[in-house]
Chain A
Amino acid sequence: MSEQKRSFSHVIRERYCKGCSVCVAFCPKQVLVLKNGKVFAERPEQCIGCRLCEMRCPDYAIEIVETGLDKPVEKDAACVDYSVPPEANHA
């Protein structure tokens, strides 16, 4: 393990979140809280990037992105063009 601390940012799709607080309860570092019924990353600097919130979220509302690495901009649900049906992209 390197000494350098890895940092993570939290992509939260508020439109998807139903506020079940499964991610909040099982975060090993208590990074997340519920704010107005939606998940919010209160202590993002504490995040260790285990991605348990991302995997357990029943609504695909939270995603962990490692910052500081050269990665493409994540596609957010808010940026998707809903006028195009997904079947149109099939071969």
Chain B
Amino acid sequence: MSESLDYFRQNRLPHIWCPGCGHGTVTGALTRTLAKLGIDKNNVVVVSGIGCSSRASGYLDFDTIHTAHGRAIAFATGIKLSRPDMKVIVMTGDGDCTAIGGNHFIHAARRNIDITTIVMNNSNYGMTSGQYSPMTPTGMLGTTAPYGNVERPFDLGKLAIACGATYVGRSTSYHVQLLGELLEKALLNKGFSVVEAVVGCPTYFGRKNKLGGAVDMFTWQKDHAVNVKAAAVMAPEKLEGKFLIGELYNQAAPEFTAQYDALIESVRRKFDNFQGGVRGCAQNSD
């Protein structure tokens, strides 16, 4: 921990998150993974949007920006394109990523740009007192759903896979060792990586739905998460009401910044040859 604590702005700690909020656990898992991989903090950029989860960038001692609501991935795309050598990490929440920033998310996944996106899913908008989000499960209560949410939630893993992300994983704040393993693979993956971390919000989601305190929310995650490897041999009726954790998808595909650099190189070569008077080259390549 002490090595990973060096990745924090320690004069900003203790953080503002509520007692038992899983966001701290996820941020700790990220710094521990970065310490394990031995990544220099000058080569990391952390981008976040707005929300409880997005406060993480303020506590991390990297080059960080706290951007407009939902636009974290848009800013991160610009940073990655201008500095492809930097490791760009987006820390975002379920509402920030899938509601306000939904389009940025699907298009970054489609481009397969080398950004690691950590989505902390606490099933509501915790910062503004627990309104329901696109990832609130059906029937659960929220400030804006006092009689239960009638909408169906996103399955972020399936959404990311369908949009073209090359690494997709899901874990919880209870399964913190698995979360560390997934983050390590996501950081090393060349392409758009999504790690969804299911966390509890004891202050709003937990209290509104009578799920108990922080410990009860961690226990809920333990009881309702099933590893994909275990789920493969389980009967479908036993998976009712559960969610899958583990590595959901991992397949290589051409990465956007590498493709873009290759395009610039090929156009420059064509132009140089043309200016040099070698007309044949320019004509042949048409």
Q: Which residues of B contact A82 (CB under 8 A)?
A: 10-11
CB distance B19 to A60 under 8 Å?
no
Interface of B is mostly: helix
Within 8 A of B (CB), among A1-46: 15-16, 18-22, 25-26
Interface residue tally on A, bucketed by range = 20 to 34
CB distance B19 to A19 under 8 Å?
yes
Chain A nearest Cβ from B121, distance in angstroms: 16
CB distance A18 to B14 under 8 Å?
yes
CB distance A56 to B61 under 8 Å?
no
Q: Which residues of B contact A57 (CB under 8 A)?
A: 24-25, 28
CB distance B11 to A86 under 8 Å?
yes
Chain B nearest Cβ from A72, distance in angstroms: 9
Q: Which of B14, B42, B180, B202 contacts A15 (CB 8 A)?
A: B14
Chain B nearest Cβ from A63, distance in angstroms: 4
Chain A nearest Cβ from B284, distance in angstroms: 47
Q: Which residues of A contact B173 (CB under 8 A)?
A: 56, 58
Mask of B191-234 contacts with A, CB within 8 angstroms, 1/0: 00000000000100000000001110011000000000000000
Q: Which of B1, B11, B19, B42 contacts A63 (CB 8 A)?
A: B1
CB distance A22 to B214 under 8 Å?
yes
CB distance A21 to B214 under 8 Å?
yes
Interface residues of A, Cβ cutoff 8 Å to B:
15-16, 18-22, 25-26, 52, 54-61, 63, 74-75, 77, 80, 82, 85-87, 90-91
